[in-house]
Chains A and B, each alone.
Chain A
Amino acid sequence: MIITSRERAYDLRQPPVFIMGGTGRTLAPNPAWNYSRPEIHYVAGNYGRNRLFGMAGISQNDVDFISCYDAFTFTTLIQLEAYGFCGKGEAADFVKGGRLKIDNALPSNLSGGHLSEGYTHGVSMVIENVRQLRHRADDACPGWAEGKHTYDREAGCRQVKQARIAACLGWGTETMSSSAILRGISA
């Protein structure tokens, strides 16, 4: 991943992707470890989400797809609540019916995530989101490098149709977690 100025990014070979907002090393109101806070399930998103979405100037409803740190399956549910995609205790109902599937309302972890792609502490998810925003997911479509996709899921296309804004959700305690909202040039 190369991060450079907007001006230089336009001159590079690949379509640019812009960082709308981000958090890193967020602070919580209490210095204790998360399990010594009143809410033991609070993670970085609970403390950083207003900064993240405020910086980006969008709401959760504007996000087309997400990546989230799925070290385990339940961490996805906690993050959906932490970053405000649904209310506290609502994540199970939120994902029921396949909301996170590729052609549904909020596709998640399109490259497979930690559980199915590789445990790289989130960075490969950011790379995947950048590829998706460029419309250049390196899938089975013959023309993926030119941004031409068939959207045939059975044949191995994993490009999201509406890939304008992506949220990269980070897991963990606030001092060691980060998040970002990215957009492609078409957004």
Chain B
Amino acid sequence: MPGDIDYTKLTIVPDFDSAEWWMGTKEKKYLVQQCNACGHKWFPPFPACAKCTSMDLGWFETAGTGVLHSYVVVTQPIMGAFVEAVPYVVGLVELDGCHEADGSLVRVIGVMLDDEEDVAIGLPVKVEFEETNEPNIVVPRWKVSGTAENTWKFSE
């Protein structure tokens, strides 16, 4: 497991578009934005539906599970908050339950709780919520939750 992220060295400020999403993580919900007019889902949040241009937007509560679509390993801490955390894995997670008929899907990015040797593309993952020094900011992390038949991993 990677080392701790020092959240005292990060300032996370929810903005107009993301405020409700941060309220969701505080309640241990992984939300994605959803258009009330056409049902399209996306993340990160922005002010209008890119598919039908409606500004009547709501939120879809995902199961907080998905499949690891890809990942990178960060070895150099660019910000002070991550000095103790390196090396850590940043995962690209394809969320369950967000696939639409036209092929739209939602992938999200998060810092994994697993070490590099324990991750592989195709593995199922689930969200875990990590408290920070700021009571209103709860940060989602991702963790491998099982096994899969077809996985892939880069090797030199």
Contact = CB atoms under 8 A, between A and B. Distances in A.
User: Do A and B bind?
Assistant: yes
Interface string B94-115: 0000000011111101000000
A4 interface: no
Contacts of A2: none
A137 to B, nearest CB: 35
- Interface SS majority for chain A: loop
B103 A40 contact: no
Contacts, number: 28
B42 A40 contact: no
Interface in B30-44: 40, 42-44
A33 B44 CA distance: 9
Contacts of B92: 35, 40
A168 B63 CA distance: 44
Contact of A32 (B69, B70, B104, B109): B104
Interface in B53-82: 69-70
Given A30-B103, A31-B51, A36 B109 contact: no
Interface string A20-63: 00000000001111011010100000000000000000000000
A40 B70 CA distance: 9
B50 interface: yes
B107 to A, nearest CB: 5
A50 to B, nearest CB: 21
Contacts of A32: 42, 50, 104-106
Contacts of B103: 30, 38
A31 to B, nearest CB: 3
Contact of A35 (B50, B51, B104, B109): B109
A6 B69 CA distance: 50
Nearest to A175: B50
Interface of A: 30-33, 35-36, 38, 40
